[in-house]
Structure 1
Amino acid sequence: MLKIDKISKFFFDGGNSIFFNSKKVEAVKNVSIEINTGDTLGIIGESGSGKSTLAKIIAGIHNPTKGDIIFKGKSLLNLSQRQRNNLIQYVFQDPSNSLNPRKTMMQSLLVPTTYLLGLTKDKAYARIKDILKSVSLPLETLNKYPHELSGGQAQRIAIARSLLSKSPLIVLDEPVSALDVIIQEQILLLLKNLKKEFNLSYIFISHDLAVVENFCNKIAVMFHGEFVEIGNTKKIINEPAHEYTKLLINSVP
């Protein structure tokens, strides 16, 4: 379904004056992996390991410095952002990063539906109502502004928006880390149910190994911008090969 082929991403830190040279920061280094249809791939690593940068590259928010991303045989780098959004959607850790505080939920959901799918407002509204039902939110939610929603409700709206375009792959960047434990469980159960209902594949970014272990069928362990271990979740948890993976497992309470 998706092939990440030798992706690297460099940033330049500082060096904007005549007194300091800029420093090249390699956030992602020569990363390759394949995601099959129906996979839930967990990318695990500590903060600063490069996992969120990679997630944004996959979703088209950042462009890679090197490498390619191939979706069903076609390079995503040759597509427009609109075309990419129809194939891959991205859910932020904090929904406030993607919800306009001056717009109601109806306004926030209507624009991507009409833009990406080219639907009339009536048909877009019908689709929004169906998706809202799928994420277990009442219709009254559409009249609310972001500040009127709880954290769990806001994340459900963010998930709903990712479903509107009928994208088969969703990148979830720490989608439950800002929520309390009970709401975390509810959102994870919702994501599992949506995966079955819409035949989705997920890339799940997290620093929480316990969550990844219970949610993902495949794991890629990221350390200093590189994948140090990739494989079946249970096998890696039970038989870790890399020292960093062992450290992550031993750090789980």
Structure 2
Amino acid sequence: MLILPTFARLSVALSLLASTTVACARLPAPVAAAEVGMSAGRLGAVGDWMQSQVESKRVPGAVMLIVRNGQVAYFEAVGQQDPVHGTPMSKDSISRIYSMTKPMTSVVAMMLVEEGKLQLDAPLSRFLLAFATMKVGVERKDPATGAKTLESVGTLRPITVHDLLRHTSGITYGVFGDSAVERLYRAAQIGLHGDFTNAELADRVAALPLQNQPGTAWEYGFSTDVLGRVLEVVEGQTLGTIMRRRLFAPLGMKDTGFGLP
């Protein structure tokens, strides 16, 4: 089952919740590791290492599935899905998959590209007008005093759909560094601190300066969240509806969604 927490329900890039309920029902029976050219000892070491992470309380639990050439070589669950009540982790426990939602969003985007509804080189502002006048935050340091200031400069070119797909939009998260722009992101509390729609999230991002000039650097950030909003504008539906119609239903992912059933 795939479930999204509140923020992920509203902002696709951060998190789906998933269990392997459907997958388990369709998986072939496990085979000996040697049958698929793998080492049973090395696979066992994977489980031992994950168990050590549980015992050191780095993670409460985990499910590990390794498939090669369509055959299951390793499938184990360790730890607990609910440490408070001691519920053991099972192979079909519900889990958030967080940024693995990004490839799902990207797949849908490429479906729209194939259908001619979306162009990779299209400027983001064609779909979201708030991004028409984006600025880039450039830190300046006074050589005499050492004081730093943040200067806003215009973009050399617009953000494109392609930039959103490859994280070269200049949009950041604000959690992996301490630049002046990242501090502005943190102050705006865009991350997991709010319950707002994709449209509201995109507007909040558009109100902040970019970390880099579009197309010049890879920066892990809210690019896929904004892309999710683009999909909503193009399709005229919520992202959850789009995902169900285009991915989850056709692929038989009936236990997948952005909220608990």
Using structure 2 for the length normalisation, give the TM-score: 0.25
User: Which one has the bigger strand percentage?
Assistant: 1
Larger radius of gyration: 2
Using structure 1 for the length normalisation, give the TM-score: 0.26
